[in-house]
Structure 1
């Protein structure tokens, strides 16, 4: 998956990106597959246990008897050390901010589940940008592309809009591929299911609405060059910096190629759609995505 998402990364940076991807999958499963994500206090204690590693003062004893969280935290601390070694102070602060937002979003999901509160579409989309966890993975694009963005661009509204669009598309693609599995287990944190609930439509129609939103995000990323050039002219950046920003935007777009991994992988297969191929026969939702929205 990481090789699809970061096609121009050198081996060491790709290894870091792959390890982060695997860690996020692993950590998400504590919340998606078990009781830690069904109540606010359990979710908060779990993320706080991992967050201790950011401060360098990890507490003893894993919460809720989940001894495997000790190894999960050790892996997290190792990944943070490797990541900080390649980032500037500014980049590291942004990466940690995105991690903190991810942890906070996991707790928010637990609160919603505890109270059976299905978010509205707008609230869900804002939350989804952090639960992905696309943002910290997108923070790695500068490094996998071998570029350095000007710090002034990091603080710009255009940077935020491009990051939001890339995070949105990544999360929504995942939602389309995972909707059948999540519906089976009673999960409602999924764009397709939120749309179906909000608009009172059937699942396939909701999938097609999600595909429209994915397409809008992709078109924004694909058509960003003129707006980037306009920003660069106004900001007075050098030609090398302008090319670095354009390279970064291409990296955000290419990150979405990780969707190819979903097609033949069993992670989101359900018992109803899991017998005909290594990744399971595609559900109706996935068939709709594959036939209607080439990535």
Structure 2
């Protein structure tokens, strides 16, 4: 793996390079560093059926638009790709949570698009459920309360507490995103990426990675500085990869919080050039993840190794899912490059 520099000089060179590609998907496939092979979970079809039943139970797919979105995003497929070795019970929780977050995220974007304050009722309901065990008052809240119950039943109390804490950070991130979307002028790249790290919604799944192991990680292992850095790198790479494939869709929708679009605003370049710069950033992130993992791996317990493998699964899974999911079909359009 060659270390990817993000110096001013190399960015300048990248902006003047002509990289041959028919469309964004080809551009990404040709340049993104992906050391993790494709894997899927043998319980995927069972999980997909479970997601459909769970969403209907809580009335979340009563709206035809939401049902169509779920068909286009394939949450059980993403769960299968990023959690290929977990048992069926953990996989079902992962798939349910992915579906829930897709719905919650889309509704938050719609409600808070022009007036972020309108988000406060749905966000405070979520925080109350996650922090205080409050009773829900909406179908989304009821689904979250049930998801919280599933986590508490499958995880240890410490793992469930970490899940709730990380989930609250995700909820707060959606408010920051709404404020940034309505801000003029557009937020700078550093702030954009900070918000994106919260709205990614990847870190709530890490306690489930831990729950899939034979036992809890020791606190010294779980909170080791290198382990914490691996978590940050994994979450960033996992969410930035879909940003590449969704850049066309989000550009058309006027979205701001996207790595590729942040590069495009910062350097006033074409979308293909911005995607190329974003790929360099992602490649460097994945390379650092690999280097740190190899450094700390001999010190880890078997459960610690499984936990980090769960993190890398999110990088791999988000890539292979993004390549084929109907939601990002615009990435294959010629206009994506030209």
**Alignment match, 2:34:** none
Q: CA RMSD in A?
A: 2.3
Check the 8 A contact 2:156/2:211 in 1, yes or no: no
Q: 1:77 aligns with which of 145, 157, 162?
A: 145
Q: 1:185 aligns with which of 253, 260, 263?
A: 253
**Alignment match, 1:142:** 210
Q: How many residues align?
A: 259
| Matches for 1:198-237 after TM superposition, within 5 Å | 198-229=266-297, 232=299
Check the 8 A contact 2:230/2:293 in 1, yes or no: no
Q: Distance in 2 between matches of 1:35 and 1:82?
A: 28
**Alignment match, 1:35:** 111
- The superposition leaves residues 143-185 of structure 1 with CA deviations (integer Å, 9 ceiling, x where unpaired) of 2354532112222221221110001001101111111001001
| Matches for 1:1-295 after TM superposition, within 5 Å | 1-32=78-109, 34-54=110-130, 55-58=132-135, 60=137, 70-229=138-297, 232=299, 242-258=301-317, 259-269=319-329, 273=330, 282-283=332-333
SS in 1 for 2:332: coil
Check the 8 A contact 1:177/1:286 in 2, yes or no: no
Residue 139 of structure 1: CA displacement?
2.8
Residue 221 of structure 1: CA displacement?
2.3
Residue 284 of structure 1: CA displacement?
5.7
Residue 100 of structure 1: CA displacement?
1.3
How does the TM-score come out when normalised to structure 1? 0.80
Q: Distance in 2 between matches of 1:286 and 1:254?
A: 28
| CA distance 1:87–1:262, change in 2 (3 Å) | same
| CA distance 1:212–1:82, change in 2 (3 Å) | same
Q: Distance in 2 between matches of 1:266 and 1:221?
A: 29
Q: Distance in 1 between matches of 2:187 and 2:83?
A: 32
Q: Which runs of 5+ in 2 are unaligned?
A: 1-77
How does the TM-score come out when normalised to structure 2? 0.71
| CA distance 1:111–1:225, change in 2 (3 Å) | closer
- The superposition leaves residues 230-288 of structure 1 with CA deviations (integer Å, 9 ceiling, x where unpaired) of 7x3xxxxxxxx52322222222112222221222222133xxx4xxxxxxx61469889
Residue 58 of structure 1: CA displacement?
3.0
- The superposition leaves residues 190-234 of structure 1 with CA deviations (integer Å, 9 ceiling, x where unpaired) of 11111111122221111011111111122222223343147x3xx
Q: Which runs of 5+ in 1 are unaligned?
A: 61-69, 233-240, 274-280, 289-295
Stretches (4+) displaced over 4 A? 284-288
| CA distance 1:287–1:146, change in 2 (3 Å) | farther
- The superposition leaves residues 79-136 of structure 1 with CA deviations (integer Å, 9 ceiling, x where unpaired) of 1011012222322222222111111110011111222342222222222111011111
Residue 28 of structure 1: CA displacement?
0.7
Check the 8 A contact 2:119/2:175 in 1, yes or no: yes
